[in-house]
Amino acid sequence: MRWRTIPPQCCSLLALCVLTALEAVPIDVDKTKVQTQPVESAKIEPPDTGLYYDEYLKEVIDVLETDKHFREKLQKADIEEIKSGRLSKELDLVSHHVRTKLDELKRQEVGRLRMLIKAKLDSLQDVGIDHQALLKQFDHLNHQNPDKFESTDLDMLIKAATSDLENYDKTRHEEFKKYEMMKEHERREYLKTLNEEKRKEEESKFEEMKKKHENHPKVNHPGSKDQLKEVWEETDGLDPNDFDPKTFFRLHDVNNDGFLDEQELEALFTKELEKVYDPKNEEDDMVEMEEERLRMREHVMNEVDSNKDRLVTLEEFLKATEKKEFLEPDSWETLDQQQLFTEEELKEYESMISLQEDELKRKADELQKQKEELQRQHDQLEAQKQEYLQAVQQMEQKKLQQGLAPSGPAGELKFQPHT
């Protein structure tokens, strides 16, 4: 039994749970002719999901997987049963050993969150805030009982992870849009610093690189027969005349679990992306390439994944190959053929940047004033200290001139005169 590889984009804890309980599907395809490296049979660690409670999530599922009863229930459960929380009630039937380990994991997670809160408050120099109240903002566990892992905890963990990961793609798109607007903003700001001649040269260079990037071979529609046949021939090294959808599915189900997950799907688009992007070319942006890969994967999932569980079964895949769009797809518009943002959106983004810069400048000015005030107070104290020392020295000199014994810092005599 081994973990399947779960991509960061996977948006359902359901998929993560169900697939840990599925045995590898035996494949009768001869993969010796395929130009790919063999997959090791060792345990595959799922990559970081990007969630702040990622480690806790993995450890909980890892422990639950060791309970035979829970695994059997998990195999029989459907998507809605898990997402609705009904499966969480089965937690009461797991072994005492598993419950003890889950309790320990929860205590460790609560301790970690409290340390995060303390570190944040220390950085803000804030005191008098109830740490327990701040724990409420973390909705992936039941903070009311920090010592016991209950069915409520499993239910909250599933719902939190599902919700957070479902927003993963949306967040990526938003970040990419900001990235593109920032690029354009910086380009325009740089042009403002140039004289007219240099500015024209830069504008000409920019248009030249843009045209060079757009001059690429035709990109096949993701998930179409032409696109898959190209992978079959160039990546798998097989005769295009022998193309068979069922064999193709099994060849690219890398971990042999009976599904094409999002990571396995995205791997199918590498050849298409290489037509447009080359890391050696100055005009090709690799951040844009990953956004294009994401768009392709989303498109195929929307077309093929009929039950919307973010996994493609063999049945769903074969059904998609029977559609007209598989044989006669529309042309695929790459990012360079689309308007990524409007001028109004760019202006709004620049206004936001301006506000942020103004706020940072205000804080910097405030800190500078505080620094200057501290320096002024320091200089004033130093001046007073020097005046005090000079006064003491003058008094000592007068005493010596008058034949009196010099005094200590508090005015006491340093030695007793002889009588």
- For residue 340, CA distances in Å to 265, 285, 352 come to 24, 14, 18
pLDDT in tens, 51-109: 788 889 889 988 988 888 888 777 777 666 666 667 777 787 888 899 999 999 999 99
- Please tell me the number of Cα atoms within 13 Å of 379 on its side-chain side: 6
Q: Which residues are CB-neighbours of 367 under 8 A, at least 6 positions away?
A: none
Would you state the pLDDT for residue 14? Answer: 42
Those residues whose C-beta lies under 8 Å from the C-beta of residue 417, and which sit 6 or more positions away, are 405
Residues 226/220, Cβ–Cβ less than 8 Å: yes
**Which pLDDT value is given to residue 409?**
56
pLDDT digits (tens, 9 = 90+) for 203-229: 999 999 999 999 999 999 999 999 999
The burial of 173, by beta-carbon neighbours within 10 Å (0-12 exposed, 13-18 middle, 19 or more buried), is given as middle
pLDDT computed for residue 6 by the predictor: 38
Instruction: Supply the pLDDT for residue 50.
Output: 64
312 phi/psi in degrees, rounded to 5: -110, 120
The pLDDT value recorded for residue 295 is 94
Q: In b/e form, how buried is each residue of 69-94, taking b as 16+ CB within 10 angstroms? A: ebbebbeebeeeebbeeebbebbeeb
Residue 97: what residue type?
H
Those residues of the chain that have pLDDT short of 50 are 1-45, 47, 419
Q: Provide φ and ψ at 259, rounded to 5°.
A: -135, 155
How far apart CA 311 and CA 293 sit, in angstroms, is 17
Is the pTM higher than 0.85? The answer reads no
